[in-house]
Amino acid sequence: MPGACGQAATRAARIGHGVPMAATTRSPDWGALRRNADQQHALVTRTQCRTAGLTDALVQWRLATGRWTAQGRGVYLTTPGRGGWAVTAMTAFLQLESAVPRATVAFRGGSAARLWGLTDHDPTVVSLAVPHGRRVDAPTGVEVRQVRRWDAFVHDTEYPWRTTVPVTLLDLAHGTGIDGAVGLLAEAVRTERVSAGELLAELRRRPRHRHLVLLTEALADVADGAQSAAEVRFIRDVERAHGLPVGTRQLATDSGRRRYHDNGYAEAKVIVEVDGRVGHEGWRNRTRDGQRDREVGGDGWFTVRVFWPDCAITPCRTAMECDALFRSRGWTGRATPCRRRDCVVPRATPP
């Protein structure tokens, strides 16, 4: 792949950067300028105006008459009155890109997540990235970080330039607690925005990630079918930690219609549903879940539901309850205490 400089040149050509044209008397290329504005939230830069054939005098006339407004140094809003986070963020992006010759700039962190639609919250700070070794002065309300692996870091085609989905998600995960991080990644995999394999590949490139060990383990469970932080907690802290039977993730049953269940234990014919992700709350959804539970009951399956506190606050007690249920339905094993000092699961009595 091309280096940062070559990639910057390619990107600069795409958005109209290059050698600024001197003021001319030729007719301005309004079509080219409009295309720039359409992909930049109605914003254009002074360089783009010059490239399209607008003289500085014509730009100043449009500003003086209120047809355009200045958003920042060398950045103009072609639809006065338009505002919001997108305009603010794009203004910072264009200012930074225009301020440094041949600069390569991309959105990162929460700003990239907003552009990807991974979150619907407008960040309070615009987060941008430049290649390692390039120093720039960040405008007020903007944070700029130098990054390595630029070619792998930034998406090749999405404009405005932004970090790839795996990079963006792991940046966000670094700044939150482990449960929030797992929930974020699990939801992205569930909605097919990214694969667990892509996240694991990116995580392996980050030996200093705050949650490296736990996320590596959690993503293996996500790849196996866990779809939320609560489900990962159940697998890790209830089932695996206490030596319970290993369930089948996203078990498929067909009782007139095909259904998928969080954890299925075929030997005992027990289904454990974990109510911890978006989609389980609300009366209508709980009613639908109850109907699904009754449907598989006709085939001999017994369904139990556990909730976030059962997995995160009292996992040992939940393990004891599951142990009793499994053994009542034919399991010949027995739960074992986990490494928690206060684990309530009793140790096996020697014969």
| Closest listed residue to residue 79, CA positions, set 33, 123, 47 | 33
Any domain includes 296 = yes
- The verdict on 214 and 195 lying in the same domain is yes
Is residue 350 in a domain? no
Picking from 224, 258, 293, the residue at the C-terminal end of a domain is: 224
DSSP sequence for 38-89:
HTTTTEEEHHHHHHTT--HHHHHHHHHTTSSEEEETTEEESSTT--SHHHHH
Whether 59 maps to a domain, the answer reads yes
Over residues 294-318, mean pLDDT: 86
188 and 255 both lie in a single domain: no
- Residues 273-283: b if buried by 16+ CB within 10 A, e if exposed: bbbbbeebeee
**pLDDT: which is higher, 169 or 140:** 169
- Looking at 205, 224, 243, the residue that finishes a domain is 224
Q: How far apart are CA 128 and CA 111, in angstroms?
A: 8
Same-domain check for residues 39 and 100: yes
| Residue at which a domain ends, from 124, 142, 163 | 163
Query: Would you say residue 19 has pLDDT above 50?
Result: no
Q: How confident is the model at residue 167 (pLDDT cuts 50, 70, 90)?
A: very high
| Across 59-82, average pLDDT | 94
Instruction: Tell whether 338 is covered by a domain.
Output: no
Same domain, 41 and 179: no
- Same domain for 143 and 44, yes or no, is yes
What is the pTM (predicted TM-score) of this model? 0.76
Residues 290 and 310 in one domain: yes
How many domains does the structure of the chain reveal? 3
Instruction: Give the pLDDT confidence of 103-156 residue by residue, as tens digits.
Output: 589 999 999 999 999 999 999 999 999 998 888 888 888 999 999 889 999 999
pLDDT band with cut points at 50, 70 and 90 for residue 303: very high
If you average pLDDT over residues 48-57, what whole number do you get? 94
Is 241 in the same domain as 188? no
110 and 175 in a common domain = no
Asked whether residue 13 falls in the same domain as residue 119, the answer is yes
Residues 222-247, mean pLDDT to the nearest whole number:
94
CATH number, residue 260: 3.40.960.10
Question: Environment class of residue 317 by beta-carbon count within 10 Å: exposed (0-12), middle (13-18) or buried (19+)?
Answer: middle
pLDDT at 72 (0 to 100): 84
Answer whether residue 316 is part of any domain.
Answer: yes
Domain containing 49: what range? 4-163
Bridge partners (DSSP) listed for residue 304: 272
Strands 43-45 and 69-72: unpaired
User: What pLDDT score does 289 carry?
Assistant: 62
Tell me which amino acid residue 229 is.
A
Same domain for 80 and 153, yes or no, is yes
Sort strands 258-265 and 270-275 into parallel, antiparallel or unpaired: antiparallel
Q: Is residue 300 over pLDDT 60? A: yes
Token output for 155: 């998406």
Produce one character per residue of 92-130: b if its CB has 16 or more CB atoms within 10 Å, e if not. Answer: bbbbbbbeeeebbbbbbbbbbbbbbebeeeebeebbbbb
Q: Per mean pLDDT, which range of 28-42, 107-121, 143-157, 295-309 is the poorest?
A: 295-309
Region 308-324 average pLDDT: 94
Q: For residue 346, how many other CB atoms are within 10 A of its CB? A: 11
Helices (H), 129-224: 150-153, 165-174, 178-190, 196-204, 212-224
Residues 155 and 9 in one domain: yes
Name every residue whose Cβ is closer than 8 Å to that of residue 166 and which is 6 or more positions away in sequence: 194, 198, 199, 201, 202
Q: Over the range 248-258, which residues count as b (16 or more CB within 10 Å of their CB) and which as e?
A: ebebebeeeee
Same domain, yes or no: 210 and 282? no
Q: Where are the beta strands (DSSP E) in the chain?
A: 43-45, 69-72, 75-77, 106-107, 126-131, 142-147, 248-254, 258-265, 270-275, 302-307
Q: Is residue 193 part of a domain?
A: yes
Residue 259: per-residue pLDDT: 86
pLDDT-based confidence at residue 288 (cuts at 50, 70, 90): low
- 5: amino acid identity, one letter: C
Could you give the CA distance from residue 224 to residue 46 in angstroms, rounded to a whole number?
52
Single out the residue of 316, 275, 311, 317 nearest to residue 293, CA to CA: 275
Please list the residues that pair with 146 across neighbouring strands. 130
Confidence of residue 193 (pLDDT cuts 50, 70, 90): very high
Answer yes or no: is 51 within a domain: yes
